[in-house]
Amino acid sequence: MIDEKVRSFEFGVRRDQFGVSSCSSYSEHRPKLLRIPLAKLKGKHTQMRVTFLGGVRTVTGSATLLEKGPLKWMVDCGMFQGSKEHEERNWNLQAYQAKDLSFILLTHAHIDHSGLIPKLLKDGFRGKVICTKATLDLCEVMLQDSGHIQETEAEWQNRKGKRAGKDEAIPLYTAEDAGKSLPHFQTVSYDETFQLTDGVKARFQDAGHILGSAIIEIWVEEADGERKIVFSGDLGNSDQPLIRDPSIVEQGDILWLESTYGNRLHKSREETVQELLKIVQEAIANQAKVVIPAFAVERTQDIIYTLGQFIRKGSIPPIPIYIDSPLAISTTEIFKRNSDCFDQETKDLLSGGQNPLDIPGIHYTQTTEDSKAINEAPGAGIIISASGMCDSGRIKHHLKHHLWREESHIIFIGYQAEGSIGRRIIDGAKTVKLFGEEIAVKAHIHTLGGFSAHADQKGLLDWVSHIHNPELQVFVNHGEEKVSLELSQLVSEQFHFKTTVPQWKEKRDLFGDEQEVIPEERVEEAIPPEESFSVLFKNLDRTYKRLRRKLKREKKKGESFYDPKRLKELEEVNKKLEELESEL
């Protein structure tokens, strides 16, 4: 049991600019408490159940569905990124049971953890998204930026596809859809225990990964007493600039443990900083450009801080430093507004009158014209641009201009997922395709692991070592398959905990005498399809429109030539359509 006072989680309702109901913390009007009292569930199945919907045997699409009787909630709701196979998963969220979810507990704002929330709203979710204030601030810009990217990518595909006679591409969601999701967010403070419903309470602790990131602890009342579930979220690297180190958790019955860097060790922070300094000094000497693909959140601010230290110490002269990402510019302002999340060293700098994110020579480029002008500027310079994996955003334009230049330097400071452009470059590709053009890779390519926002293998094992429960069950997630398996084995051997690397969409009953994996046939009986009629009708409408376009093309062909074989095929199509019409 936990000793501190537990606050009940209450939701007031107001209407926002989009007409969507939104929550206000702890309303003075004392609205009805969001509860499903477990005491009233007698005679019903109240066994805790989990479905692993994402972030298993991959580093993307983090999502876990938890059920306690009729109560359903999720931890994270991330977008799948990287390979085409993974990205196709974003379109089928039937297993997420959007209409039946009461809430989503969100560990942090990165799109691979939050990016499907707007899509879930489109599919019928009307619950609350619970997170820290800094996470909400970041989601406000990141989700809308994600929606804008979806729209832009769809427009580009349609311009290209129209010439090839391909079907119309539809964005996963739009910037407007993302904006409509924001009123569903509810913020909580670190280290504050709050009641979600009878028998279920939770607490967020600092994960030290990015601004506002959280470890989530959940306490659940079971027949034999209270049990505790811990989600590590993405654990941060110790001694990062700006933010605090990860909080320590000492108790738990079941742990979800991330494994992004579960099979490797980072260079020390000091080694990494010196390596960056050497690269920048070489580029200055040769009047060359340094291009740094960086995630808009945390890595960009980390690099700004480090370059500022170089300049303040006189290690390099002030040179043009371009922050070429509207998202990174917005998130840097959010950092400045959330100084309560900073570590003591950064707070001391601020109290001494120094802002670690304001440095000489820094240029924030908002417009497309300013972005294009960067590559025309002569002399040395540093370009920091998103996205960190190089699959979208302005970074692709800068790579197109500099990858083929032997004097340029490309520095990767964050994780590069399988299938991403960044991963292909660091794996030694001789060319990469950017905007339909093959670009030679001749620039100096560097990977600086010490800037990672993720704990390495040693950091993960050190963090786990503080949990004092010999019966701890560990689910290893958020890592490529071979990495998760390796870390799982290490945790088992070192601590003798029971470890599992689950499969995608695997379902388990928790807290029984034996944790049972639910067979696929039982899954179908227990959880029927929950896709809403509105979503089905949208899909039918899209299929109908695609069919109409194909029929128009066939009609044009038919006017110019006669093909008996094709005529017979069209008669078969017509017959099937008539049968379908009668069924409807």
| Residues 463, 457 contacting (CB under 8 angstroms) | no
Tens of pLDDT, residues 268-289? 889 999 999 999 999 999 999 9
Compute the distance between CA of residue 241 and CA of residue 252 in angstroms, rounded to an integer.
Answer: 29
Would you say residue 531 has pLDDT above 70?
no
**What pLDDT score was predicted for residue 521?**
43
pLDDT for position 162: 74
**How confident is the model over 397-413, as a mean pLDDT?**
96
Kindly report, residue by residue over 111-136, the tens digit of the pLDDT: 999 999 999 999 999 999 999 999 99
Instruction: Report the pLDDT value the prediction gives residue 39, as an integer from 0 to 100.
Output: 38
Contact 188, 8 (CB under 8 A): no
Interatomic CA distance for residues 485 and 494, integer angstroms: 14
At 267 the pLDDT is 87
Identify the band that residue 305 occupies on the pLDDT scale cut at 50, 70 and 90.
very high
The pLDDT assigned to 247 comes to 98
CA distance 130 to 11: 11
Token pair, residue 304, equals 């700004």
Most confident segment among 321-330, 343-352, 502-511: 502-511
Tell me the CA distances in angstroms from 539 to 57, 92, 152, 421, 542, one per residue in order. 29, 11, 21, 31, 5
The CA–CA distances, whole Å, from 411 to 303, 402, 422, 451 equal 11, 12, 10, 11
At 336-373, the pLDDT tens digits run 899 999 999 999 988 888 888 888 889 999 898 999 99
For the segment 158-172, the average pLDDT, to the nearest whole number, is 82
The domains of the chain are located at 7-15+44-264+454-526, 269-451, 533-583
Confidence of residue 436 (pLDDT cuts 50, 70, 90): confident
**pLDDT the model gives residue 34:** 39
User: What does the radius of gyration of the chain's CA atoms come to, in whole angstroms?
Assistant: 26
Inter-axis angle of helices 564-583 and 533-560, nearest 10: 160
Residue 42 pLDDT:
42
Q: Report whether 105 contacts 216 (CB < 8 A).
A: yes
Residues 6+ apart with CB under 8 A from 50: 64, 65, 66, 67, 507, 508, 510
Nearest residue to 154 (alpha-carbon basis) of 134, 179, 183, 177:
177
- pLDDT single digits (tens) 184-203: 999 999 999 999 999 999 99
With a CB cutoff of 8 Å and minimum separation 6, the contacts of 584 are: none
pLDDT band, residue 536 (cuts 50/70/90)? low
Q: Between the CA of residue 145 and those of 209, 323, 407, 522, what are the distances in Å?
A: 21, 16, 33, 40
Q: Of the ranges 207-211, 311-315, 576-580, which one carries the lowest mean pLDDT score?
A: 576-580
7-15+44-264+454-526 belongs to CATH 3.60.15.10:
yes
pLDDT confidence tier of residue 176, bands split at 50, 70 and 90:
very high
What pairs with residue 254 in β-bridges? 229, 473
Per-residue pLDDT reduced to its tens digit, 64-79: 999 998 999 999 999 9
- Our CA angle for 275, 277, 279, nearest 5°, is 70
Give residue 552's pLDDT: 66
pLDDT of residue 320: 96
In which band, very low, low, confident or very high, does the pLDDT at 513 lie, cut at 50, 70 and 90?
Answer: low
pLDDT of residue 418: 80
Question: How many percent of the chain have pLDDT more than 90?
Answer: 63
User: What's the mean per-residue pLDDT of the chain?
Assistant: 85
- In the predicted model, is pLDDT for residue 36 greater than 90? no
For 6-34, write each residue's pLDDT tens digit.
665 544 333 333 333 333 332 322 223 33
CA-CA distance, 462 to 179, in Å (whole number)?
Answer: 39
**What gap in Å lies between CA 36 and CA 196, rounded to an integer?**
9
pLDDT at res. 565: 66
CATH fold match for the domains 7-15+44-264+454-526 and 269-451? no
Lowest mean pLDDT among 2-16, 151-165, 474-488: 2-16
Model confidence band, residue 167 (pLDDT cutoffs 50, 70, 90): confident
Look at residue 22 in the predicted model and tell me its pLDDT: 34
3-state secondary structure of 478: coil
Provide the CA 258 distance to its chain's centre, in angstroms: 13
Q: What is the pTM of this model?
A: 0.77
Type and span of the H or E element at 531 = none
Find out whether 232 and 255 touch, Cβ atoms under 8 Å.
yes
* 240-271: pLDDT as tens digits: 899 999 999 999 999 999 999 999 999 888 99
Reply yes or no on whether the pLDDT at 35 is more than 90. no
> Domain 269-451 class?
alpha beta
> For residues 558 and 162, which has the higher predicted lDDT (pLDDT)?
162
Is residue 99 predicted with pLDDT exceeding 50? yes
Percent of the chain exceeding pLDDT 70 equals 81
